[in-house]
Amino acid sequence: MTDTTQTAPPLSALFSGANLFPTLMLGGAICLHAVETYITATLMPSIVRDIGGLSLFAWATTLYVAASVIGSIFVAVRPAAVSLNRCYVGGATLFGLGSLVCAIAPVIEVVLAGRAIQGLGAGLLVTLGYSFIRFVYPEALWRKASTLYAAIWGVATFLGPTIGGVFASGSAWREAFLILVPIALVMAWLAPRRLPRGEDRNAAPPAPFAQIVLLLASVLLVSFAGSVEVVALRSGLAGLAVLGVAGMVATERRAGARLLPAGAVRLSSALARIYLIMLLLLVVLASDIYIPYFLQTLHGVTPLVSGYLVAMLALGWTSSAFLTAGLSGRRAVLSIAAGTLVEAVSTGMLVLLLARDNADGSLAVLACATIAIFGMGFGVGMGWAHLVTLVLKLAPDDEKDKASAAITTMQSLGSAFGAALAGVVANSTGLLDPGGIAGDIAAAGWLYGLFALPGLCAFVLALSLLRQPR
């Protein structure tokens, strides 16, 4: 975590010489995932109105990110004969197949199956972005590459809601998924022609099956808890999910085949705290899956506009990533800590701004809510690239691949648990019973009040990094 006096190369270096095609391909993979995220966020209210399944609303995100965990782990434990560019081909192909399944789905359960296939492909693609960093760029460009990924989310800010909103307004949500299919297939065709093979390995590391099963079981248990009506059963499922996470941590500490780099499950390790901050930031951010729904039901906003308003979150992430990209050492850690606090406060503000009956669409209320949504993303962007850089620097040399995959694993788990917990909170506090305006107001209030708390926990962890020897 030392400060550097060396002049960092400009962001444009990612697009010059031998860096150009890898940047376009890796950026394209992130863009495909990011644009689809906002398409689906904008479309979900229209989908449940068309084919039903409001109680399963959060599952569209939960299954997607749970499957992406499997995809991200595969990159680290893949067979020796499977190169990184071949993983890219598989990821893009699966993403296209999942989009096709969503497009032809007659019921919500088939949409969820398609989302799981999409998530598996996305897990591969996003993890490859981090895995390829050390193969195609010098270390001086690692932070710039991470900043670029944040900028791509800014592009998705405009593309995703536009595509999703236009198709949602015309009740043509199926076509919004369908247009992703040929794009994914073209990217799969280009991968072996434009990307290097990546690392050659003599043997694949053993797969941490026990930890994977425990983590995925925990995510699914929380999701089930959100969709059942019996309070006692809901509490029991949530308790089992907590036990699953505890079992995973205990198994990871003594297992020969580890899911995470050495020391990543012990809070005394800086690497463990960095991963935990990543996870908590994404848990908070996952509460955004209900923002389009509450904007449409409580504030009278159209699907297109609601898509753009929730996309302000990504715009916040992008803008703060650029503003803080030049920081290093202690200043970078201070940016991480400040960002966690900004995210927590912005999320808490939605209790006052989103959880209210604004059927007339008061511009003053919507403007303040938009600032808070922007702040959620701004806080994450202040620290994300610095967290990624710290992981790549602190991980042992022989575990860089595992450390890169674990970044996406934490990102996916944070989103998965966040979405599942959001479903539990919303469904338990009024979304389904009593429902209607009163139920939506109660659900939104509880949701954003409770989800500010993980952000405060991340703030405490970030402060502890300042005391880490540098």
Asked if residue 39 lies in contact with residue 103, where contact means CB atoms within 8 angstroms, the answer is no
Residue with tokens 């020897």: 469
pLDDT at residue 469 tops 60: no
Instruction: Give dist(CA 63, CA 49) in Å, integer.
Output: 20
Q: Rounded to the nearest 5°, which phi and psi values hold at 194?
A: -120, -5
pLDDT at residue 3 tops 50: no
For residue 274, the one-letter residue type is: I
Closest C-alpha among 271, 268, 264, 269 to residue 249? 264
Asked if residue 84 lies in contact with residue 55, where contact means CB atoms within 8 angstroms, the answer is no
H helices of 52-137, where?
Answer: 59-77, 84-103, 108-136
What's the token pair of residue 429? 């506090």
pLDDT digits (tens, 9 = 90+) for 24-44: 888 888 888 878 877 887 788
Name the more confident of 19 and 352.
Answer: 352
pLDDT digits (tens, 9 = 90+) for 414-446: 877 887 788 888 888 888 788 889 999 999 999
Lowest mean pLDDT among 53-62, 247-256, 450-459: 53-62
- As a whole number, mean pLDDT of residues 154-162 equals 69
Instruction: Give dist(CA 316, CA 377) in Å, integer.
Output: 5
pLDDT at residue 9 tops 90: no
H helices of 170-302, where?
Answer: 173-178, 180-194, 209-227, 231-254, 270-285, 291-298
Region of 149 on the Ramachandran plot (φ > 0 left; ψ -120 to 50 alpha; else beta): alpha
pTM: 0.76
Asked if residue 41 lies in contact with residue 292, where contact means CB atoms within 8 angstroms, the answer is yes
Give me the half-sphere count of Cα atoms (radius 13 Å) on the Cβ side of residue 213.
Answer: 5
Residue with tokens 């962001």: 11
- As a whole number, mean pLDDT of residues 353-380 equals 92
Q: Which domains, ranges and CATH numbers included, belong to the chain?
A: 17-198+206-466 (1.20.1250.20)
Compute the C-alpha angle 346/222/316, nearest 5°.
25
pLDDT digits (tens, 9 = 90+) for 207-229: 788 888 888 888 788 777 766 76
Residue 205: C-alpha distances to residues 106, 247, 254, 258, 444 (Å)? 41, 22, 16, 9, 44
Instruction: Give dist(CA 467, CA 189) in Å, integer.
Output: 48
Q: How much is the pLDDT for 170? A: 63
Asked if residue 124 lies in contact with residue 94, where contact means CB atoms within 8 angstroms, the answer is yes
Instruction: Give dist(CA 115, CA 60) in Å, integer.
Output: 6
Lowest mean pLDDT among 2-6, 37-41, 296-300: 2-6
Please list, in sequence order, all residues whose beta carbon lies within 8 angstroms of the beta carbon of residue 75, skipping any fewer than 6 positions away. 84, 87, 124, 127, 128, 131, 401, 404, 405, 408
Name the more confident of 140 and 439.
Answer: 439
pLDDT at residue 103 tops 60: yes
Give the dihedral sign, CA 61/62/67/68: positive
Note if the bond before 396 is cis, omega within 30 degrees. Answer: no
pLDDT at residue 72 tops 90: no
Instruction: Give dist(CA 279, CA 276) in Å, integer.
Output: 5
What's the token pair of residue 350? 């939605």
pLDDT at residue 280 tops 80: yes
For residue 296, the one-letter residue type is: Q
